[in-house]
Structure 1
Amino acid sequence: MLDPSGGAQHVWSYLCSGDDREGRVVRLNMKEAQDRQKSYADRRRRELEFQVGDRVYLKMAMLRGPNRSIAENKLSPRFMGPFPVVERVGPLAYRLELPEIMKAFHKVFHVSMLRKCLHPTEELVARIPEDLQPDLTVPAVPVRILERREKVLRNKRIPLLRILWDCSGSTEETWEPEAKMKLKFRKWFDKQVEE
């Protein structure tokens, strides 16, 4: 019936050839499984459509960058805006009117990056920092060391520092490895140790 030298490709082509009963059963079962998975995915999917002039929120996930970004705060907002829709570019893309400080952004966004603003007078959810860099990051400057501790692993100890950061006016505290702080902020670290 099956030639063993043909391998898996031969078996698959035999099962899917359509001239045998087993192949039809396999195709039918695969179609049922695909339809079931599609129905699960479609339950949560919504058809979003915006009109010119609608106000929408923009997902903050796009503000992530290689350095500290404004979206790196642990409890940062998920969306920023609202921004008015200027034009519908395609079936799933919209052009937004962004403030001058966000000129580094491309102004066309996929519908999955947008949420409709339900109340017309809602204000900005997330403040756009004045020192937003072209790579969409905000410089974070260490202010001082608040606390020291060691993380003990099986065969080594990692010294950690609790650092108070100044992120364009807002403050944030994070635990950072001491070695990383020595590398990135050498002069600042030496000054902190002297004090």
Structure 2
Amino acid sequence: MDLQFAVSDYVFVKIAPIKGLMRFDKKGKLSPRFIGPFEILGKVGALSYRVAMPPNLVEVHNVFHVFMLGKYISNLSHVLNLELLQFTPNMSYEERSTQILSRQERGCGKR
């Protein structure tokens, strides 16, 4: 199956999970594999596309191979709010706690 996109199509961009690194408020199995949607600006070569990245992802190179892109089917529940996150150049961010939901003390097990 050969994926092809046209200019002004929208796509998801695949992000690579890194063990122990938290991205987009989720860790491990629940962390997203794709972010977006982002607009295709143009085709670069036979299998690469230039993607419009938001200002907070300006450090990310905006040309992706077709295997890093996922087809976007319009649905508002797919969209992650990226404006609230401040990224470092390696696409990680610092997580800050907003409140403690519960507290529990445990003994060492021996009595």
TM-score when normalising by structure 2: 0.73
Matched, 1:73 2:27: yes
State the alpha-carbon separation in 2 of the partners of residues 55 and 100 from structure 1.
Answer: 17
**1:7 corresponding residue in structure 2:** none
Decide whether the 8 Å contact of 1:86 with 1:97 is kept in 2. yes
What percent identity do the matched residue pairs reach? 32
AA matched with 2:27: N
Residue 59 of structure 1 deviates from its aligned partner by 1.0
State the alpha-carbon separation in 2 of the partners of residues 110 and 147 from structure 1.
Answer: 50
Structure 1: gaps (5+ residues) = 1-45, 151-195
Residue 98 of structure 1 deviates from its aligned partner by 0.5
SS at match of 1:112: helix
State the alpha-carbon separation in 2 of the partners of residues 149 and 102 from structure 1.
Answer: 45
Matched, 1:102 2:86: no
Q: By percentage of residues, which structure has more strand?
A: 1
* 1:141/1:123 CA distance change after superposition, 3 Å: closer
State the alpha-carbon separation in 1 of the partners of residues 92 and 104 from structure 2.
Answer: 25
Greater relative contact order: 1 or 2 (C-alpha under 8 angstroms, separation 6 or more)?
2
RMSD (CA atoms): 2.8
State the alpha-carbon separation in 1 of the partners of residues 18 and 63 from structure 2.
Answer: 18
Q: By percentage of residues, which structure has more helix?
A: 1
Matched, 1:55 2:10: yes
TM-score when normalising by structure 1: 0.44
Residue 53 of structure 1 deviates from its aligned partner by 0.6
Would you say how many aligned residue pairs link Structure 1 and Structure 2?
102
Higher-Rg member (1/2): 1
